[in-house]
Amino acid sequence: MRRLARVGIVRTTILSLVITTMIGVVSACAAEDASLWSFQPLRGETAPTIRDQAWPRSDVDRFILAKLEEQKLSPARDADRATLIRRASFDLVGLPPSPEEIAAFSADSANDDVALARFVDRLLQSPRFGERWGRHWLDAVRYADSVGKSWNAPFTYAWRYRDYVIDSFNQDKPFDRFVTEQLAGDLLPSRSAAQEREQRIATGFLALGSISLQEGSREQSIMDRVDDQIDVTTRAFLGLTVSCARCHDHKLDPVTMRDYYALAGIFYSTRLWTGQGTHTREFGSMDYVDGDLLLRLPDLVSGKPTELSAGVHSMSDFQDEWRTGRRDIRYTTDPNRAMGASEGDIRDCEIRLKGKPYDRDVAPSRGIVRIAGLPELSDIPASASGRLQLARWITSRENPLTARVFVNRVWSHLFGRGIVPLVDEFGSVSEEPVHRELLDHLAQQFVADGWSIKKLIRAIMLSRTYQLGGWALLPVPHGNEEMDGQECPSSELFGRATPRRLDWEAIRDSLLLASGRLTFDRPPGIQVAGTGGKARGSSTYSLLKIDAQYRTAYLPVLRSLMPEEYSTFDFPDPHQIQGQREVTTVAPQALFFMNSDFVVECARGAAERLLKDDSLTSSQRVRLAYLRLLSREPLVDEVSDALSLLRDLQPPASPRSPEQYRWTTLVQALMSSAEFRYVR
Partner 1 sequence: MPVNERAEDKDGQECPSSRRAFLQQAACGFGWLALTALAAQAETPTVKGPLAPKQPHFKMKAKRAIFLFMEGGPSQLDTFDWKPELARAGGRYLAPAFPFKQRGDSGLWISDAFPQLAQHADELCLLNGMTTNNAGHQQAVLAMHTGSENLVRPSLGAWTVYGLGSMAEDLPGFVTINPVSHLGGAQNYGSAFLPATFQGTRLGTGQRGVPHIANRHLSEGDQRRQLDFVQKLNRRVLAQDPNQPDLEGLIQSYELAYQMQTSVPETLDLSREPAHIRELYGLDDSATENFGSQCLLARRLMEKGVRFIQLTSTGWDHHNNIRESLGARAASVDRPIAGLLSDLKQKGMLDETLVIWGGEFGRQPREDNPGGRGHANRGYTMWLAGGGVKRGFRYGATDELGEQAVEGKLGTHDLHATLLHLLGLDHEQLTFRHAGRDFRLTDVAGKVAKEIIA
345, 484, 521, 614: which one binds partner 1 (CB under 8 A): 484
3-state secondary structure of 622: helix
**Residue 573 engages partner 1 in binding (rule: CB under 8 A):** yes
CA 601 to chain centre: 28
Residues 228, 232, 236, CA angle at the centre, nearest 5°?
A: 170
**Residue 4 engages partner 1 in binding (rule: CB under 8 A):** yes
Residues ≥6 apart with Cβ < 8 Å to 575: 142, 144, 148, 149, 210, 559, 560
**Residue 586 engages partner 1 in binding (rule: CB under 8 A):** yes
Long-range contacts, 118-126 (Cβ 8 Å, 24+): 119/85, 119/88, 119/89, 120/88, 120/92, 120/458, 120/461, 120/462, 121/458, 123/88, 123/89, 123/92, 123/93, 124/92, 124/454, 124/457, 124/458, 126/92, 126/93
589, 605, 623, 627: which one binds partner 1 (CB under 8 A): 589
> x/- string (CB under 8 A) for partner 1, residues 124-163?
----------------------------------------
Report, in Å, the least distance between residue 180 CB and partner 1: 30
In terms of Cα–Cα distance, which of 46, 91, 100 is closest to 458? 91
Report, in Å, the least distance between residue 503 CB and partner 1: 14
Which residues inside 313-342 make contact with partner 1, applying CB under 8 A? none
Report, in Å, the least distance between residue 78 CB and partner 1: 15
Report, in Å, the least distance between residue 634 CB and partner 1: 10
CA dist 175 and 442 (Å) reads 14
150, 568, 618, 660: which one binds partner 1 (CB under 8 A): 568
Which residues inside 627-646 make contact with partner 1, applying CB under 8 A? 638, 641-642, 645
**Residue 585 engages partner 1 in binding (rule: CB under 8 A):** yes
325, 485, 524, 655: which one binds partner 1 (CB under 8 A): 485
**Residues binding partner 1: number (CB under 8 A):** 68
Residues ≥6 apart with Cβ < 8 Å to 432: 19, 37, 38
126, 449, 575, 659: which one binds partner 1 (CB under 8 A): 575
501, 623, 628, 632: which one binds partner 1 (CB under 8 A): 501
> x/- string (CB under 8 A) for partner 1, residues 219-248?
-------------------------x----
The one-character DSSP state at 215 is: -
Give the Cβ contact number of residue 584 at 10 Å.
12
Ranges of H-type helices in 583-632: 587-595, 597-612, 618-630
Nearer to partner 1, 21 or 212 (CB): 21
Contact region with partner 1 (CB under 8 A), list: 119-127, 302-310, 406-414, 484-492:
484-492
Report, in Å, the least distance between residue 451 CB and partner 1: 29
* 342 DSSP β-pair partners: 271
Taking the C-alpha atoms of 344, 346, 347 and 349 in order, what is their torsion angle to the nearest 10 degrees? 40
Which residues inside 644-663 make contact with partner 1, applying CB under 8 A? 645, 648-650, 652
Report, in Å, the least distance between residue 613 CB and partner 1: 23
**Residue 470 engages partner 1 in binding (rule: CB under 8 A):** yes
Give the Cβ contact number of residue 125 at 10 Å.
11
Report, in Å, the least distance between residue 423 CB and partner 1: 11
* 501 DSSP β-pair partners: 678
**Residue 499 engages partner 1 in binding (rule: CB under 8 A):** yes
> x/- string (CB under 8 A) for partner 1, residues 363-402?
----------------------------------------
Q: What is the full DSSP assignment across 171-197? A: HT--HHHHHHHHHHGGGS--SSHHHHH
Residues 582, 584, 587, CA angle at the centre, nearest 5°?
A: 155
Residue 281 has φ and ψ, to the nearest 5°, of: -60, -40
Residue 270 has φ and ψ, to the nearest 5°, of: -110, 140
Report, in Å, the least distance between residue 632 CB and partner 1: 11
**Residue 3 engages partner 1 in binding (rule: CB under 8 A):** yes
Q: What is the full DSSP assignment across 527-584? A: -EES---BGGG---EESS-TT-SS-GGGS---TT---HHHHHTTPPPTTS--SS----
24, 284, 524, 655: which one binds partner 1 (CB under 8 A): 24
Ranges of H-type helices in 416-494: 436-448, 453-461
Which residues inside 411-440 make contact with partner 1, applying CB under 8 A? 421-422, 425, 429
**Residue 595 engages partner 1 in binding (rule: CB under 8 A):** yes
Chain residues binding partner 1 by CB under 8 A are 1-5, 21-22, 24, 26, 244, 421-422, 425, 429, 470-472, 484-487, 489, 492, 499, 501, 560, 564-565, 567-568, 570, 573, 575-576, 582-592, 594-596, 600, 638, 641-642, 645, 648-650, 652, 665-666, 668-670, 672-675, 677-678
